[in-house]
Amino acid sequence: MTVRKISNNARIVALISFLCGTGIFVLYFLTDAFFLLFAGVGFVIIAGLVNIIYFIPILKQLLTTKDNRKSLYITCGLMLMNIPVLLVYYWFTTILLNTMRITFVNE
């Protein structure tokens, strides 16, 4: 694979990971469905493995080649930006787990 193809694929993987993780978080926030916690944990494990699989060849390309370094650094940065997002979502989820929601029904 060429450097450009690896970089583009890694950017797509990072974007999909971000969007899917955000979707699971938003659904949990809106519905408070407990099964979404398990789906989120499973997604984090799978997305983490896939991101690592794409991240390692990019690092290898950074160490071995001199061309397209800027593009590879940007790709690495995009992939690493998912980590603070994950931590913020984890923080909000722990706050939501400690919050009780009460629904009143008038009949």
Nearest to 54 by CA among 79, 36, 37: 79
Whole-structure pTM over 0.95, yes or no? no
Q: What is the mean pLDDT of residues 2-31?
A: 91
The pLDDT of residue 33 is 85
Q: Tens digit of pLDDT for each residue in 53-104? A: 999 999 998 888 888 888 889 999 999 999 999 999 999 888 888 876 777 8
Nearest to 6 by CA among 49, 80, 44, 60: 60
The pLDDT of residue 17 is 94
Q: Which H, E and C letters describe 6-56, residue by residue?
A: HHHHHHHHHHHHHHHHHHHHHHHHHHCCCHHHHHHHHHHHHHHHHHHHHHH
What are the residues whose beta carbons fall under 8 Å from the beta carbon of 61, sequence distance 6 or more?
Answer: 3, 6, 68, 72
Q: What is the mean pLDDT of residues 11-32?
A: 93
What are the residues whose beta carbons fall under 8 Å from the beta carbon of 3, sequence distance 6 or more?
Answer: 61, 65, 67, 68, 71, 72
Tally of residues, the chain:
107
- Across the chain, mean pLDDT equals 89
